[in-house]
Amino acid sequence: MQGFIIQINRVKEEDLIVNIVSQNGLETLYRFYGARHGSINIGFLIDFETQKSQKSTIARLKDVVHIGFGWIHDYKRLHLWQDFIKLFYPHLKDTDEFESFYFELLYEASQKWGKQNPKRVAVEAYVKLLEHEGRLHENMECFLCNNPIQENKISLVRAFLPTHYGCSHTLPIEKKALLELYKTNSSLFLSDKEIERLWIILCEGL
């Protein structure tokens, strides 16, 4: 089985509780400390096995193999990847069951991460997530005042909720370029400054 590590908690000296997004869902597994274990970290894609425990309701994580990315030693890209992938645990932790969408979304993003601007990859992936969850607001109506947004510029708040610039006083974004992102899942028409704003909103939480 393969999965992305999205959360690690240290318990009992060096033992770990590891949360993994796999094709089967969100896995919560126990990893015993040992000198023979390779290092693992948030954001890593691993191949692994699970083993049920008679002493605990949490299964054991075993036979871990790290599946590396070509960009894994690029500290800046790795740091951005970890910032992005950390957002998934609080978003998914109370979900009982979900399909393979989240694993596939992260896998696709990981393949693009070393070739494109990572923040653009993250923004495009987030739009896919919002659409999948039925939370993508393509109707340009202000979240704060409930009036239509007729201007050519639009401001966004957490979860990419649309607002008038005068209501939220955040960096405005070209509305036409934003709608193109929603329609084609391409950030091509957004400037780097606008992408930076969308990245900041994304980091507030999924």
DSSP string covering 168-199: H----EEHHHHHHHHHHS--TTS-HHHHHHHH
Distance CA 117, CA 192 (A): 9
**Overall average pLDDT of the 186-202 stretch:** 97
Angle between helices 175-184 and 118-132 (to 10 degrees): 70
Percent of the chain with pLDDT over 70: 96
State residue 11's pLDDT score: 83
pLDDT at 38: 67
Please state the pTM of the whole predicted model: 0.93
Asked if 124 contacts 187 with a C-beta cutoff of 8 angstroms, the reply is yes
31: Cβ–Cβ under 8 A, 6 or more apart, which residues? 15, 16, 17, 18, 37, 40, 60, 61, 64
Q: Are 61 and 48 in contact (CB under 8 A)?
A: yes
Edge-to-edge strands, sheet with 161-163:
161-163, 153-157, 173-174
User: Among 137, 135, 158, 134, which residue's Cα sits nearest to residue 146?
Assistant: 137
Please state the rounded mean pLDDT for residues 175-185.
96
Statement: residue 87 has pLDDT above 90: yes
pLDDT at 186: 96
Q: Is the confidence at residue 92, as pLDDT, over 90?
A: yes
| Model confidence pLDDT, tens digit, residues 26-57 | 999 988 766 456 678 999 999 999 888 767 78
What was the pLDDT predicted at 98? Answer: 76
Q: How far apart are CA 170 and CA 1, in angstroms?
A: 43
The pLDDT of residue 35? 46
